[in-house]
Structure 1
Amino acid sequence: MAASTRVTSPLLDVLEVFLSAWQDDDRGVHGWAIMKETKRSGPTVYGVLDRIETAEWITGEWDPDSAPGRPRRRLYRLTPNGRIEAARLIAERRPAASGIHAVLTRLGLSRWSPAFGGGSR
Structure 2
Amino acid sequence: MGGLERITQPTLDVLEALVRAHDADEQIHGWAIMKATHRAGPTVYKVLDRLEDAGWITGAWEELEPDASRPRRRFYRLTGEGVPAAWALLAERRPAAVKTRPAFGFTALRVLRTGDR
Q: TM-score, normalised by structure 1?
A: 0.81
Higher relative contact order (CA 8 A, sep 6+): 2
Alpha-carbon distance in structure 1 between the residues aligned to 2:3 and 2:72? 31
Structure 1 residue runs of 5 or longer lacking an equivalent are 115-120
Unaligned runs of 5+ in 2: 111-116
Cα deviation digits, residues 27-47 of structure 1 (max 9, x gap) = 111100000000000000000
8 Å Cα contact 1:30-1:74 kept in structure 2: yes
- Return the offset for 1:55: 0.4
| Cα RMSD, aligned residues only | 2.4
Structure-1 residue corresponding to 2:93 = 93
Give the counterpart letter for 1:70 in structure 2.
Answer: R
- 2:46 paired with 1:50: no
Distance in 1 (CA, whole Å) between partners of 2:109 and 2:35 is 34
Alpha-carbon distance in 1 for matches of 2:96, 2:50 = 25
Aligned-residue sequence identity (percent) comes to 50
Equivalent of 2:107, from 105, 111, 114? Answer: 111
Post-superposition CA distance 1:47-89 (Å, at most 9, x none): 0000000001001111125781200000000001100111111
Deviation of 1:110 (Å): 3.8
Q: Are 2:88 and 2:106, in contact at CA under 8 Å, matched by a contact in 1? A: no
Q: How far apart, CA to CA, are the structure 2 residues paired with 1:54 and 1:75? A: 15
Distance 1:113 1:29, change over 3 A: closer
Distance 1:113 1:55, change over 3 A: closer
Structure 1 residue aligned with 2:3: 2
Aligned residues: 110
